[in-house]
Amino acid sequence: MYAQMVKSTGKGVKSREEMTEEERHFQDRVDADEKIEPKDWMPEGYRKTLIRQIAQHAHSEVVGQLPEGNWITRAPTLERKAILLAKVQDEAGHGLYLYCAAETLGISRDELTEKLLDGSMKYSSIFNYPTLNWADIGAVGWLVDGAAIMNQVPLQRTSYGPYSRAMIRICKEESFHQRQGYDIMMKMAKGTPEQKRMAQDAMNRFWYPALMMFGPSDKDSVHSAQSMAWKIKINTNDELRQKFVDQTVPQAEYLGLTIPDPDLKWNEETGHYDFSEPDWSEFYEVLKGNGPCNTERLEARRKAWDDGAWVRDGLMAHAEKRAARRTAAE
Ligand code: FAQ
């Protein structure tokens, strides 16, 4: 199983002969689908990769509240407002489960937030794109949550116990998010000509950024081979991107929307859709901080962190007082 994965995903992974006794034992546990728990021995690289991936995911959930939060006050009906409010609150909850999972690896939530704010940790590229009108909220739910679920369902089987358990709950909620997005798109796409135009415009702007969410193509992915050998990742970036395209094309057809890719076509031989790759130079620019909303997103998070300092200080002072009282009573 291990050998097969290394073969299918590339180089850069230690062979069994190169591993220490501890590493071999660890790899055997992973290969046997045993969950790795916080107090178990793990290679330092496994711990670091998990912190990077889980924290990046947590930051994405938190920053991901901003583009949709932007439309809570302007939702077209009270019902849509209540649904969107609940969805955005769910994203905050996902961030919290994931920060908790990362904390079990020996890093604090404060440190993780500081790394987000100083730019040494990333969040998903998708949240650096603006939500310009209500149709964008439909496109985010349908395409962005749709891509997120495609990536996250397999992560329920990831080898690290706390991460895998967090993903189970997150996936249940993400399914509802995807449905609510599709419902908005259905209303818009079957509405007035102007609403249909808005739905198509949102689709045009979100299609390629959604494809970028899965990460660079397999030949350029830095971490996939090792992450798959450790079952931190279950599928490659390209496998999941292909599954997403195959799932989304019929949904777009049902809506009567056109996917903005003239080369998209069903391939009888492969049993999959052929499609155009996103513009990877745009992806790397967004990662470098040069996307349309990078500055705005980080400023919003920095302001929230600074404005919340008095709450954190108050809670710490309260906790210290209680601890001192408890010690005095003993
Ligand atoms: N954005 O070697 P790989 C959501 C970086 S949750 C930014 O292939 P890996 C819910 C990558 O970090 C969305 N950076 O990396 C929601 C690495 O750089 P580094 C988030 C990206 O980790 C919906 C470099 O490129 N989901 O949306 C991206 O093996 C609606 C090389 O890449 C997760 O985080 C990107 N798209 O594979 C919330 C899921 N892609 O760190 C609100 C868990 C790659 O060495 C509203 N994460 N990079 O400096 C994963 O599955 C993986 O981390 C991948 C990337 C697949 C994202």
pLDDT of residue 7: 42
What residues form DSSP beta bridges with 266? Answer: 273
Q: Decide whether any atom of ligand 1 lies within 6 Å of the 64 Cβ.
A: yes
Q: Decide whether any atom of ligand 1 lies within 6 Å of the 287 Cβ.
A: yes
Measured between alpha carbons, how far is 300 from 12 in angstroms, rounded to an integer? 38
- What is the CA(121)–ligand 1 centre distance, in A? 11
Give the residue whose CA is nearest to atom 37 of ligand 1. Answer: 215
Measured torsion, CA atoms of residues 59, 128, 203, 284, in degrees rounded to the nearest 10: -100
Burial (CB < 10 A; 0-12, 13-18, 19+), residue 203, is buried
Measured between alpha carbons, how far is 148 from 155 in angstroms, rounded to an integer? 11
Q: Decide whether any atom of ligand 1 lies within 6 Å of the 216 Cβ.
A: yes
Q: Say which range, 151-160, 168-177, 198-207, has the weakest mean pLDDT.
A: 168-177
Q: Decide whether any atom of ligand 1 lies within 6 Å of the 131 Cβ.
A: no
Helix (H, G, I), strand (E, B) or coil at 41: coil
- Taking the CA of residue 53 as reference, the ligand 1 atom at the shortest distance is 53
Give the residue whose CA is nearest to atom 5 of ligand 1. Answer: 215
pTM score: 0.94
Q: Decide whether any atom of ligand 1 lies within 6 Å of the 124 Cβ.
A: yes
pLDDT of residue 9: 43
Q: Decide whether any atom of ligand 1 lies within 6 Å of the 128 Cβ.
A: no
Write phi, then psi, for 78 (nearest 5 degrees).
-65, -40
Angle CA(231)–CA(233)–CA(234) in degrees, nearest 5?
A: 75
Distance of CA 239 to the CA centre of its chain: 16
Give the residue whose CA is nearest to atom 33 of ligand 1. Answer: 57
Tens of pLDDT, residues 216-261:
999 999 999 999 999 999 999 999 999 999 999 999 999 999 999 9
Measured between alpha carbons, how far is 66 from 137 in angstroms, rounded to an integer? 12
Give the residue whose CA is nearest to atom 34 of ligand 1. Answer: 57
pLDDT of residue 1: 41
- Is the sign of the CA dihedral 201, 189, 124, 221 positive or negative? negative
Which element (helix H / strand E) includes 267? strand 265-267
DSSP 104: T
Tens of pLDDT, residues 173-211:
999 999 999 999 999 999 999 999 999 999 999 999 999
- What is the CA(80)–ligand 1 centre distance, in A? 29
Tell which residue, 64, 63, 84, has the closest CA to residue 73: 84
